[in-house]
């Protein structure tokens, strides 16, 4: 039982009965065990079922094909977004140069022109020199970048015969397709 005294200290009321026992342990040779463990750890590498490896620190070492796929997909996403952003920026600058001084007319709602309702129409409008179509093309490139990433992943998983990943990637591709096609209907 503890008691709170006036000097803000805890005091123990009951003194426990205790005995002091000394034990002597046999001396051991720590250097030999550590060296043996180091030798075992450096030579131990576990094999994973899909050609991957685990190193001494339990980090997964990826195969060359997995590293190449990651590099390809990361560069695709990086450069796809950069190119799409550059196209949108170029279209925005051109649009502001030609139409920046015009007053905004919000009295009537004007929807998208029919040429911007399909990717083919956007490409035709870009070839005709429309500023707004360049912005639309940049947005289409931005949308196409992750779709292309999923498609490349699907082909890679098919080639590697990873059928579980193929099914998951097909589900992702189906949902992307449904969201794009569903916008038209």
The model's pTM is 0.60
* 122 Cβ contact partners less than 8 Å away, ≥ 6 residues apart: 115, 116, 133, 136, 137, 140
The whole-number pLDDT of residue 22 equals 65
The whole-number pLDDT of residue 47 equals 46
Render pLDDT for 92-133 as a digit per residue (tens, 0 to 9).
999 888 887 777 777 888 777 777 777 888 888 888 888 888
Give me the helices (H) in the chain, please: 30-43, 64-99, 119-128, 131-160, 163-181
Render pLDDT for 26-60 as a digit per residue (tens, 0 to 9).
666 555 566 666 665 554 444 444 555 555 555 66
Ranges of each domain in the chain: 61-99+114-181
Which residue matches tokens 């046999």? 26
How many Cα atoms occupy the beta-carbon half-sphere of 40 within 13 Å? Answer: 6
* 11 Cβ contact partners less than 8 Å away, ≥ 6 residues apart: 2, 3, 5
- Tokens standing for residue 16: 């426990």
């Amino acid at each position: 039982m503890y008691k709170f005294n006036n000097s803000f200290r805890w005091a123990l009321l009951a003194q426990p009965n205790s005995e002091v026992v000394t034990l002597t342990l046999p001396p051991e040779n720590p250097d030999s065990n550590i060296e043996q463990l180091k030798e075992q750890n450096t030579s131990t590498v576990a094999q994973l079922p899909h050609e991957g490896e685990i190193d001494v620190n339990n980090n997964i070492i990826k195969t060359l094909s997995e590293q190449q796929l990651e590099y390809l997909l990361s560069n695709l996403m990086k450069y796809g977004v950069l190119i799409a952003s550059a196209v949108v920026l170029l279209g925005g600058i051109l649009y502001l140069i030609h139409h920046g001084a015009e007053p905004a007319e919000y009295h009537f709602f004007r929807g998208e022109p029919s040429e911007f309702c399909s990717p083919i129409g956007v490409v035709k409008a870009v070839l005709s020199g429309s500023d707004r179509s360049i912005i639309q093309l940049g947005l289409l490139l931005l949308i196409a970048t992750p779709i292309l990433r999923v498609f490349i992943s699907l082909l890679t998983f098919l080639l590697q015969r990873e059928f579980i990943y193929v099914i998951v990637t097909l589900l992702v591709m189906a949902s992307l397709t449904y969201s794009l096609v569903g916008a038209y209907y």
